[in-house]
Structures are given as C-alpha cells and as structure tokens.
Structure 1
Amino acid sequence: MADSAAARPRPGTARQNVDFPSGEGRAHGYLALPPGGHGPGLIVVQEWWGLTGHIADLVDRFAAEGFVALAPDLYGGPATHDRAEAAELLRKLPAERAVHDLRGAVDFLLGHPALAGDAVAVVGFCMGGGLALRLAALEGDRVAAVVPFYGLPREPDYDYRGLTAHVLGHFGEYDRSLPADVVDEAAILIGEATDRRPEFHFYPAGHAFMNDENQPGSYDDLQAKIAWRRTLSFLRGHLG
C-alpha cells in the first residue's frame, strides 16, 4: 500500500512512491489510496513544472474523495518552479517515453488490487491536459472519462477518433495561451470524430487557475472550487 502522507521531497525533485513497467523500462509516480482502501482509478497528469507538490496534493485530494489516484512522473525525478527550467525539461521529454509512461500507468492502475471497475479516468493540467486527451484517444474503452484543465493537444487538427471517453474541460476566459476559438474548434473536432459531445466550461480566470502554487500568478480560489466540484461530480457519474 502506498503512503499518501509520504514526506515531501527536497526542492527540485518529484514526490515518488511507486514504480511500474513502461515500455521496455520502468516509470515512477505518486500513488494515493482512498480511506476505504479501494475505489475507481484516476490518473493525474502533471503540468510542465513536473510532479510538483501541487500535483501531489491534487492526488491526495482525489484519494480523499474515494479515488485510487496516480500521478506518473514524466520527467523521471526533476521538478521546478522556474519557467526556463520547465521549458528545458519539456524540450528534453521524448514524446514516445511520455506515451509509454502514461499507458503504463493505465496498465498499473487496472491491475492494482485497490481498483474498482474495469476502466480509469484521466485528469490533466496545462501540458497534462493535452496529454490526457491523447491518452484517452489511445486507450479507448479503458479510459471512461477525461478532464483537461486549460490544455489541449498541440496539433490544432488532432485526430480524436480513438476517443470513447466522456469529456469535461475547464478553460480560462483570460488565458492568452489558449484562446476560446481554439478551444471551440477542439470541441467541434471531438464531436465530429466521436459520438461524444464534450462539456467545456470557461471561467473568468487566467491560465492555471487551479494551481495554488500560483506559478503563473493566476490562481483563483473561487473558480478553482467550482471546477473541482464539477470535476468530482463528472468523475463519479462516469466511473461509479
């Protein structure tokens, strides 16, 4: 059993307490179990900062709400609050390794004795929002629900045809990095490529309004609470 109260790592490193197969190697992550010891599975995908305290805290919060929650460490150890370092970590992240780690996380959760059900959900933030949608498209019925927060795949014409998950998205009205027309176009593409009608919400907030470490300076406590409650209701509705 993973210790969801694991000691915080030193600055610049991710919190890790599990490892699992990933392609021909192994990946690491942070796992938290619900108070009852079992529940539906949820993968939490990091922002470009890495598996920071903010992401680990979200894993703990989801676990407290009844989910078996896992955040894969896509950078394999480093985490940062510096924009230049984050950009460099992202640049050095091989796309193939990220895919292997995320798909390995799905395998790991679906085989975990604490898991209830035969599918998982994925929640991702910024960079992780785009990766969450990609993972859902790759994994088909093994992902029942996907929730991107202020993030989409980089390709404006991304092919969503493999996606069968229900989709809930959260976006900031004042997010200059992700304009509303780009979000609207993604909703259209998802609807045209699948039998799903994504539920996208816009909030009177900027980018990363859920991040209470406030790296971009746009954390909004009220909007974060609204998005959190919507997310919990959505996940419970589609994971049971």
Structure 2
Amino acid sequence: MARTDLTISTPDGDAPATLHTPDGAGPWPGVILYVDAGGVRPTMHAMADHLAVLGYAVLLPDVYYRHGDWKPFSMETAFSDASERERLMGMVHGLTSEMVAIDAESYVTALLDRPEVSGTAIGTTGYCMGGVLSLRTAGTQPERVAAAASFHGGNLATEAQDSVHRLADRMRATVYVAAAQDDGSFPAEQYERLDQALSGAGLSYTLETYPAAHGFAVPDNPTHDDEAEQRHWESLHRLYATALSG
C-alpha cells in the first residue's frame, strides 16, 4: 500500500489531500473518502489505507482547507469539551452546500486525472457529515460518480431547500445508505423522505439501518462498533465491485 501527498487546486484555494493506493502497478477504480466532522486525522488515513488494500485508489481530501493549518480534533473530547465543540461545529456549519459542490468538481477531476485511476467514473463514501458530501458529489457530478455511499450520515433529507435528497433526480450512481439506530441526526421522517426521493428518481439503491449507534464505522469514535464496522467494509466493497468498472 502506498500513500502520496497531493495538493488539489480549487476555485477557493489549495486543498491538501492524500492518495492511497494498493501495491502493484494499477490502475484501480478511484474513490473519494469524505471524513466525518472530526476531519482528516490518523483514523481517517487508516480507513483510506484499508479501502486501498481492498483494491481502490482512494483520495482523502482535507474538506476544511479553507481554515488553513487547523488544529486536529480528538474525538474523545470534540463534543464533550465546550470550546472544542464550538470550534468543530463552526467548521462544520461553515462548509456550505455551494462550497461542497465547488470542491466536488475539483476533487473528482483531480482523482480521474491520476494515472493510478482507471475508468471514467468514481465512487464516493462518507461518514457522519461526510455522508452528505458523498451524496452531494453524486448529485452534482452525476456523469462521473457511479457509486455513492453514506454511513451514519446525518441530515440527509431535511426540509431545507438545499437538502441533498433533492438532488436524487440528478444522480446516476448506485447508492448505499447505512443509517444508525436511534440517530437524532437522521430520524424516521428523514429516512422515509430519502427513501421516497431515491425511489422516485428510479435509482438503484439500498437504504438500511445498522443495529449500532451514530459513528459506528469510525474506530476513534466513542460509539465505534467492531461488528458494524466490518459489515460496513463488506457492504462498501460489494457496492464498488458491482458499480465501478476496472
């Protein structure tokens, strides 16, 4: 497994990123891994490494690049420490839907331009807030995203005009959404609204709930669940093996 440091030029500045690739000559199907609210940190690098070992060229971008050289969060204190929670939520809410769409075009272009990447379309996956980023990339880059996943994503189908579920009719990707049980950020009414949007758009999709808490797939989250994490890797690999061309 190899890791390459990259700088991706966007209309709003330069975004640091890493490209994680399997051993061997390649090329491999490309995937963008979108972080949870805690941002890029060792756990996310390890997850990108794991996905690369499964046979994918994985781009891990710093979605908070507009904040410059920001101090990494510890997920043990990110929500329990008042000042850290305020800092984290300020960064989360500062990443608007317009910014996500701008960045998505740059990220997808940069990934597809890499010699390590095969095909003309990529996959995406995201965790917590990254679930929204993953689906928004599929909705704003429909011809270049063939598979999109969200794990314990929150606010996927709100009443807001820019809610990502409203992009369902623009998507062309196969979609996989794994919700967490009793997740206040993705309650039953949002689950049903997303189901209706994906179904109404005629997409091939899976929408299911894991018997685990919000944050189940990310190892440094206090709510991490070993069994749910393993299930998530198996589901993600199955999605990409089916939807991404070599």
- Is TM > 0.5 for Structure 1 vs Structure 2? yes
- Aligned counterparts, 1:133-148, within 5 A: 133-148=135-150
Tell me the equivalent position of 1:52: 41
- Structure 2 residue 7 is the aligned partner of structure 1 residue 19: yes
Question: CA offset at residue 101 of structure 1?
Answer: 2.1
Tell me the equivalent position of 2:186: 178
2:6 counterpart letter in structure 1: V
- Structure 2 residue 209 is the aligned partner of structure 1 residue 212: no
Q: Supply the distance in 1 between the matched residues of 2:12 and 2:186 (Cα, whole angstroms).
A: 35
Cα 1:239–1:197 shift into 2, 3 Å: closer
Tell me if the contact between 1:124 and 1:149 (Cα under 8 Å) persists in the aligned partners.
Answer: yes
Question: CA offset at residue 154 of structure 1?
Answer: 5.8
Cα deviation 1:116-173 (Å, max 9, x = unaligned) = 1110000011111011111101001200000011214363464222111000111111
Tell me if the contact between 2:156 and 2:186 (Cα under 8 Å) persists in the aligned partners.
Answer: no
Question: How many matched pairs?
Answer: 225
Tell me if the contact between 2:157 and 2:190 (Cα under 8 Å) persists in the aligned partners.
Answer: no
Tell me the equivalent position of 1:201: 208
Tell me the equivalent position of 2:169: 161
Tell me the equivalent position of 1:97: 99
Q: Supply the distance in 1 between the matched residues of 2:40 and 2:12 (Cα, whole angstroms).
A: 22
Cα 1:177–1:153 shift into 2, 3 Å: closer
Q: Mean alpha-carbon deviation: is it higher for 104-113 or for 166-175? A: 166-175
Q: Supply the distance in 2 between the matched residues of 1:59 and 1:227 (Cα, whole angstroms).
A: 14
Tell me if the contact between 2:2 and 2:22 (Cα under 8 Å) persists in the aligned partners.
Answer: no
What value does the CA root-mean-square deviation take over the aligned residues? 1.9
Q: Mean alpha-carbon deviation: is it higher for 123-132 or for 175-184? A: 175-184
- TM-score normalised over the length of structure 2: 0.85
Question: CA offset at residue 197 of structure 1?
Answer: 3.7
Percentage of pairs with the same residue? 25
Q: Mean alpha-carbon deviation: is it higher for 115-124 or for 83-92? A: 83-92
Q: Supply the distance in 1 between the matched residues of 2:93 and 2:132 (Cα, whole angstroms).
A: 16
Q: Equivalent of 1:40, from 29, 41, 49? A: 29
Q: Supply the distance in 1 between the matched residues of 2:12 and 2:95 (Cα, whole angstroms).
A: 17
Q: Which runs of 4+ in 1 moved over 6 A?
A: none
Tell me the equivalent position of 2:82: none
Tell me if the contact between 1:123 and 1:147 (Cα under 8 Å) persists in the aligned partners.
Answer: yes
1:212 counterpart letter in structure 2: P
Structure of greater relative contact order (alpha carbons < 8 Å, 6+ residues apart): 2
Tell me the equivalent position of 1:80: 73
2:216 counterpart letter in structure 1: F
2:28 counterpart letter in structure 1: G
